[in-house]
Amino acid sequence: MSEWDAGWWRAAILLTGLLAGILVPQRARAQMVTDERVHDPGWWPTKGAYLRADYVGPQACAECHPAQAEAQKTTAMALAGGPSHIYTVSGGSEAFSQPLQWAMGLGVLGQTFVYERQGSFYEGRVSFFSSVDRLDLTPGQHTTRVKSLADARGRLLSEAEAKECFACHTTAAVAENRLDPSQLIPGVTCEACHGPGARHLAAVKSGANAKGTIFNPATLAPGDSMDFCGACHRTWSDVRQMNVRSQNNVRFQPYRLLESRCWSPDDARIQCMACHDPHQPLISEPSSYDEKCLACHATSKGTPLARGKKARACPVEGRNCVSCHMPKVEPAGLHFSFTDHRIRIARPGQPYPN
Ligand code: HEC
Ligand code: HEC
Ligand code: HEC
Ligand code: HEC
Ligand code: HEC
Ligand code: HEC
Ligand code: HEC
């Protein structure tokens, strides 16, 4: 290549880079789909590539981290899935009963049953909804009509779906990329977020330097930490790929938060952990979030932030911010109101912003 050609190439590459910078919205740059994250080297939640023997269970962590262990086991996440009772469907003279092997969901929203039959996994046709205290059709199964008893057994899950289901609701069910629910640790516990702990335990117990022997999510940049929680709660990019353009996307907090004007990819004050300690139960008292908002929205003149943004104080009220700016939204069929993480001025009668 001549000097002249090389110069043109360099200019073309520079121009492409500049254009990409203009065309790709700021907030999208750090975000990735979970499928890519789990294929990168190193630990990431829902990655099932490790040996089952590398997992030690939350009791083993409790010995040295009692504070996290005591609180974490009372969270909804720790109770997100595990073994269950008997599920029976009957119709006429036929009856079908199957030991109900697993229940997903603690019952804050509800419970859906998953069972194995002849090597395949099924999602129960009915779920239990806590808010209305009764069974109803499992979300997503509303449109499938029951034509036979076999249909009433529920929906056959593909192998990939079954794996993901257990990977998001339990710990260590997928090891060496194979689903084996008989080996699972119930719920989302320590190693679902920190990765398998055997190496860490061995290092600490032998008196060696334990730094770097277990994943600490505190080391993640804010944008990456949103994808971290998004491995299960769905990342911004996952939701884009799923193309959920309705109130149903209110369930996907990372997506909604990134769509908010408060979001900034390099500000830790607006990442999930700024408002939620994953080792503690969810706090429902609205006023307890005020200080999180006021960390940016303190003065009426506005606090200057990165990228030329300014966070002004509220002209309406100085407390209970989330009660007005993070409205509750109930998607059809879910019998549960989610908190819209797209922080905004929610005017009455305004349509739901997708
Ligand atoms: C025998 C005691 C012991 C056990 C058991 C133990 N840890 Fe630790 N852990 C430590 C010590 C000591 C440190 C501090 C290491 C350091 O900073 O040098 C630590 C640090 C950590 C860190 C921060 C790591 C970092 O690099 O910043 C995490 C996260 C962690 N432990 C999670 C766990 C989990 C999850 C389990 C169970 C799978 C567990 N630990 C079991 C003693 C233990
Ligand atoms: C391995 C999957 C997984 C990861 C990783 C994960 N979550 Fe969760 N989370 C869940 C599941 C499943 C539930 C639903 C639990 C239930 O109600 O049964 C949940 C529920 C929650 C709740 C609601 C608790 C309640 O009491 O209603 C909060 C808050 C939460 N997660 C925050 C986070 C944050 C913050 C992170 C990142 C640090 C995170 N989660 C990472 C799977 C995960
Ligand atoms: C990518 C991760 C992921 C997959 C895959 C997944 N879930 Fe969930 N599920 C969640 C999270 C996170 C929540 C917490 C509520 C929310 O934000 O929607 C949840 C909530 C639930 C709830 C409501 C629980 C409650 O009480 O809070 C049920 C029931 C449930 N899931 C069942 C299932 C079943 C059954 C499957 C598989 C067939 C499945 N989920 C697959 C992540 C996942
Ligand atoms: C839902 C995900 C999740 C689960 C489950 C979880 N952690 Fe963590 N853990 C985190 C995150 C995120 C951080 C970083 C917190 C931060 O940035 O403030 C962390 C930090 C830690 C630290 C380091 C604290 C420090 O000061 O640096 C320890 C130790 C720890 N966790 C232990 C545990 C133990 C033990 C369990 C199980 C009882 C557990 N974690 C369960 C997400 C989780
Ligand atoms: C600025 C504060 C703030 C941030 C940042 C934040 N949340 Fe929340 N979150 C809340 C509030 C407030 C609630 C509602 C609590 C209640 O009313 O019980 C909530 C509720 C939840 C729930 C329970 C289900 C629901 O929709 O009500 C989950 C799950 C959750 N958050 C996950 C996340 C995840 C994942 C992130 C990061 C993408 C995140 N949150 C970031 C404030 C925040
Ligand atoms: C990291 C700093 C930060 C945090 C934390 C934060 N915000 Fe913001 N917020 C901003 C910035 C910056 C803007 C203005 C963005 C712009 O001008 O484009 C903004 C805009 C807003 C707006 C106007 C939105 C619109 O659509 O016009 C409201 C309302 C708001 N924030 C409320 C809140 C509430 C309530 C909380 C706590 C739950 C909160 N913010 C937390 C930085 C933050
Ligand atoms: C009673 C409901 C309510 C509460 C509580 C409330 N706000 Fe507001 N807020 C509003 C309304 C309505 C507006 C729009 C005002 C207008 O446009 O005239 C607004 C506007 C804002 C704006 C945009 C300001 C601007 O100049 O663009 C921000 C930022 C904001 N609020 C933050 C907060 C914070 C932070 C808190 C808690 C300390 C809070 N709000 C509490 C109703 C509320």
Whether residues 93 and 148 share a domain: the answer is: yes
Q: Is the pLDDT reported for residue 238 higher than 90? A: yes
Structurally, how many domains does the chain consist of? 3
C-alpha to C-alpha distance for 220 and 40, rounded to whole angstroms = 15
Q: What is the pLDDT of residue 96?
A: 57
Atom number of ligand 2 nearest to Cα 273: 35
Atom number of ligand 1 nearest to Cα 219: 27
pTM of the entire predicted model? 0.92
Ligand 4 pocket at CB < 6 A? 58, 61, 65, 68-69, 72, 77, 188-190, 192-194, 216-218, 273, 278-279
What is the domain range of residue 190? Answer: 43-76+171-205
Q: What is the pLDDT of residue 303?
A: 77
The residue nearest atom 33 of ligand 3, judged by CA position, is: 104
**Better-predicted residue by pLDDT, 142 or 238:** 238
- Residue 37 included in any domain: no
Q: Is the pLDDT reported for residue 263 higher than 90? A: yes
Strands 155-157, 120-129: pairing kind: antiparallel
Domain boundary among 205, 228, 260: 205
**Better-predicted residue by pLDDT, 98 or 69:** 69
- Residue 345 included in any domain: no
Whether residues 324 and 187 share a domain: the answer is: no
The amino acid occupying position 331 is P
Q: Which of 228, 246, 267 minimizes the C-alpha distance to 333?
A: 246
C-alpha to C-alpha distance for 135 and 152, rounded to whole angstroms = 14
Tell me the percentage of the chain whose pLDDT exceeds 90.
Answer: 62
Q: What is the pLDDT of residue 305?
A: 80
- Residue 307 included in any domain: yes
Which ligand gives the minimal distance to the CA of 261?
A: 6
Q: Which of 318, 320, 317, 343 minimizes the C-alpha distance to 262?
A: 343
Q: How many CB atoms lie within 10 A of CB 219?
A: 9
Lowest mean pLDDT among 131-145, 217-231, 313-327: 131-145
- Residue 108 included in any domain: yes
Whether residues 55 and 201 share a domain: the answer is: yes
Whether residues 156 and 264 share a domain: the answer is: no
- Residue 265 included in any domain: yes
Q: What is the pLDDT of residue 2?
A: 46
Query: DSSP per residue over 177-213, as a string?
Result: TEE-GGGPBSSS-HHHHH---HHHHHHHHTT---TTS
C-alpha to C-alpha distance for 317 and 189, rounded to whole angstroms = 39
Token reading at 306:
């990165």
Residue 127: enclosing H or E segment and its boundaries? strand 120-129
Token reading at 278:
């994953």
Q: Is the pLDDT reported for residue 86 higher than 70? A: no
Which ligand gives the minimal distance to the CA of 293?
A: 6
CA of 105 to the centre of ligand 3 (A): 7
Q: What is the pLDDT of residue 1?
A: 44
- Split at pLDDT 50, 70, 90, the class of 137 is confident
Whether residues 227 and 302 share a domain: the answer is: yes
- Split at pLDDT 50, 70, 90, the class of 29 is very low
- Split at pLDDT 50, 70, 90, the class of 23 is very low
- For the chain, the average pLDDT equals 86
Ligand 6 pocket at CB < 6 A? 261-262, 264, 267, 269-270, 289, 292-293, 295-297, 305, 309, 311, 321-322, 325-326, 343-345
C-alpha to C-alpha distance for 27 and 41, rounded to whole angstroms = 24
Atom number of ligand 7 nearest to Cα 318: 38
- Residue 225 included in any domain: yes
CA of 170 to the centre of ligand 3 (A): 11
Whether residues 192 and 320 share a domain: the answer is: no
Tell me the mean pLDDT in the region 3-27: 51
Q: What is the pLDDT of residue 209?
A: 87
- Split at pLDDT 50, 70, 90, the class of 92 is low
Ranked by mean pLDDT, the top range of 129-133, 231-235, 330-334 is: 231-235
Token reading at 17:
């880079």
Ligand 6 pocket test target in 27, 258, 343 with most atoms within 8 Å of CB: 343
Whether residues 50 and 195 share a domain: the answer is: yes
Q: What is the pLDDT of residue 133?
A: 75
Whether residues 109 and 72 share a domain: the answer is: no
Whether residues 102 and 137 share a domain: the answer is: yes
- Residue 346 included in any domain: no
- Split at pLDDT 50, 70, 90, the class of 32 is very high
Q: What is the pLDDT of residue 65?
A: 97
Atom number of ligand 6 nearest to Cα 345: 29
Whether residues 107 and 163 share a domain: the answer is: yes
Q: Is 269 in the pocket of ligand 5 (CB under 6 A)?
A: no
Q: Is the pLDDT reported for residue 73 higher than 60? A: yes
Which ligand gives the minimal distance to the CA of 341?
A: 5
Q: Is 322 in the pocket of ligand 5 (CB under 6 A)?
A: yes
Token reading at 19:
């254009």
Q: What is the pLDDT of residue 336?
A: 87
- Split at pLDDT 50, 70, 90, the class of 10 is low
Whether residues 230 and 323 share a domain: the answer is: yes
Q: What is the pLDDT of residue 252?
A: 97
- Residue 270 included in any domain: yes
Whether residues 89 and 163 share a domain: the answer is: yes
C-alpha 234, offset from chain centre: 5
Tell me the mean pLDDT in the region 119-144: 77
Q: How many CB atoms lie within 10 A of CB 335?
A: 18
